[in-house]
Structure 1
Amino acid sequence: MILNFSTSARISSLKSVISGSMFVRMCPVLLLGAAALFVPACGTSYSYAYGDGSGGYPYDWKVLLKGDSLDAWKVFPSDTKGDAAATWTAKNNLLFCSGTPAGYIATVSEFTNFELELEWCFDPSKGAGNSGVLLRVQQKDEIWPKSMEAQLQSRHAGDIWNIGDFPAKVDPARTQGRHTIRMGECAEAPLGVWNRYRIVMNGGRLEMYVNGELQNVATDVAVLPGRIALQSEGSYIMFRNIRVRELGNATKGAAEAGK
């Protein structure tokens, strides 16, 4: 019999399971019975160059999630009934988000020109999910802060949302209001499989890649230092292999340079 757990109970159970399991390549989805048996139903659909996030990255990359620590991050809203861990939890190089309340977890450090890589996975037992990666987030914390959003909503990863009239140019043929849809076919893996985002924000140019496929470009983006944030937006979601490296002042992105 499948038991229904509250989000906080489910995360608590997952923590105990992960601590003694081989949870590296799979995404947890169900807990069965009173013994909380782990059912691995998610896998990785592509090869990730630097493993499970525990180390071994090139020297110029900064790993933003290590072990059980959230020292590189700050949660907003900061007081979730006195317990920010009710929304965001780190365990064994994995970041869990319950999806409630609405908010985000942002880097303490600011970045201007950077390359960001991360992986995400939604719980397939819950259906399609929603979240986003906020870029060059400005200092006023609110829902939602002025930034450029790389969409994570299921089947819409690669879309751009402009939050707070962030100065930028996008393709008008693919844009309605603040929303710019991706330029090609959906590159996401099936629900429940880990996906990879590669985001290059260099000078005024933004490039977004999903599982290696270029999905969107913005130009003349305001060159402002800002934080990187992950949204809590109503869906249980997990992240891993979150890393960033700062770039020089060159304005050409990878696609523009023909790389």
Structure 2
Amino acid sequence: MFDRRFAIKAFGLAGASGMLPRRLLAQSPSSVAGEWQSLFNGRDLEGWTFFHDKVGDRDVHRVISIDQGILHFLGPKFDRAQKSTMGHIATTKEWSNYHLRLDFKWGEERYSPRSLQRRNSGILYHMGPERDRLFPDCVEFQVEEGDVGDAIMVNTKGLQGPLLGGTPLWPNWIQALPKIYDEPQAAGGIARQWFRHAGNYENLTGWNTLDLYAIGDQAAHLVNGRIVLTVFSMIDSHSTADKAKPVTGGRIALEFEAAEVMFRNVRIRQLDDALIARLKQG
């Protein structure tokens, strides 16, 4: 990641023109092009697959409960004798060029193997169509106490938007910046890059709103209305310097990772060409 002072010195006001326009962030969902639709219907998992690591694709241990439109992972109904506490639900449909918005809130329970660790979850996006498995190839919008908004590239690569004036670069990459990918860290058969967020806006005790803008091979992560991280030029980890395979879309998943967590108001809207052009004008 580039040093902020270097970027400011080199590019001056370029960062200001590259940030997401405040007028677009402040608009209500109904006032911008693209109709919002619910990804989670508030009743059941229609349109989603279920995966419980070491268990399978059926929720036989009551991982999920749904009440008054709230999706509850590892809540009071969960079979606490069950040692496997990780998995996800994933959309059956693949998405690209979209704006995802949802609310999340932590519960109190933590489970083995992370009973003493920070509560953890995540939004996985640009997942491939392969069979569900733990930690599939994807980009993760990290949802972990203290790390909400981080990006974890799982068998994918990206360029983190540098901080210009303390704010992650968005929506246009500055062509004068070199495009050099950090080497992923390999462990357990998975290669990861981990990009850290700028600014901590998470509420530990109440509801939080997360926004994900996924436009082509780039994305922006927002926490409670603040842009905290951006990723550009996302590619498949098997890409080579002379033959890059862009990562631009895929399935979307919500994780449970040994901690009680709740989601609601899971909505998505397709970004049409006109709105993408407006966003990229700065």
If the length of structure 2 is used for normalisation, what is the TM-score? 0.63
Alpha-carbon shift at residue 145 of structure 1 (Å): 0.5
Structure 1 residue 185 corresponds to structure 2 residue 206 = no
Alpha-carbon shift at residue 186 of structure 1 (Å): 0.4
Identity %: 26
Task: Provide the residue aligned with 2:65 in structure 1.
Answer: 89
Bigger mean CA offset, 88-97 vs 200-209: 88-97
Aligned length: 203
Structure 1 residue 233 corresponds to structure 2 residue 257 = yes
If the length of structure 1 is used for normalisation, what is the TM-score? 0.68
Task: Provide the residue aligned with 1:41 in structure 2.
Answer: none
Task: Provide the residue aligned with 1:61 in structure 2.
Answer: 36
Tell whether the 8 Å contact from 1:128 to 1:154 is kept in structure 2 after alignment. yes
Structure 1 residue 242 corresponds to structure 2 residue 218 = no
Distance across 1 between alignment mates of 2:74 and 2:56: 12
Q: Secondary structure at the match of 1:168?
A: strand
Tell whether the 8 Å contact from 2:215 to 2:248 is kept in structure 1 after alignment. no
User: 1:227 corresponds to which letter in structure 2?
Assistant: R
Cα deviation, 1:153-204, whole Å, max 9, x if unaligned, reads 011101110011x14222589978411001x220112x22101100000112
Task: Provide the residue aligned with 1:144 in structure 2.
Answer: 135
Structure 1 residue 158 corresponds to structure 2 residue 149 = yes
Structure 1 residue 210 corresponds to structure 2 residue 194 = no
Tell whether the 8 Å contact from 2:47 to 2:93 is kept in structure 1 after alignment. yes
Distance across 2 between alignment mates of 1:112 and 1:71: 20
Distance across 1 between alignment mates of 2:109 and 2:133: 31
Structure 1 residues 205, 249: closer, same or farther in 2, change over 3 A? farther
Q: Which protein has the larger Cα radius of gyration, Structure 1 or Structure 2?
A: 2
Hey, which bits of structure 1, 4+ residues long, moved more than 6 A?
Answer: 172-176
Alpha-carbon shift at residue 98 of structure 1 (Å): 0.8
* Structure 1: segments with no counterpart, 5+ residues: 1-48, 51-57
Structure 1 residues 95, 70: closer, same or farther in 2, change over 3 A? same
User: 1:186 corresponds to which letter in structure 2?
Assistant: N
Alpha-carbon shift at residue 68 of structure 1 (Å): 1.6
User: 1:197 corresponds to which letter in structure 2?
Assistant: L
Bigger mean CA offset, 212-221 vs 135-144: 135-144
Higher relative contact order (Cα pairs below 8 Å, separated by 6+ residues): 2
Structure 1 residues 224, 251: closer, same or farther in 2, change over 3 A? farther
Cα deviation, 1:123-168, whole Å, max 9, x if unaligned, reads 246584100100111122221110000000011101110011x142
Tell whether the 8 Å contact from 1:203 to 1:250 is kept in structure 2 after alignment. no
The structure carrying a bigger strand percent of its residues is 2
Distance across 1 between alignment mates of 2:277 and 2:221: 10
Task: Output the aligned Cα RMSD.
Answer: 3.3
Structure 1 residues 110, 255: closer, same or farther in 2, change over 3 A? same
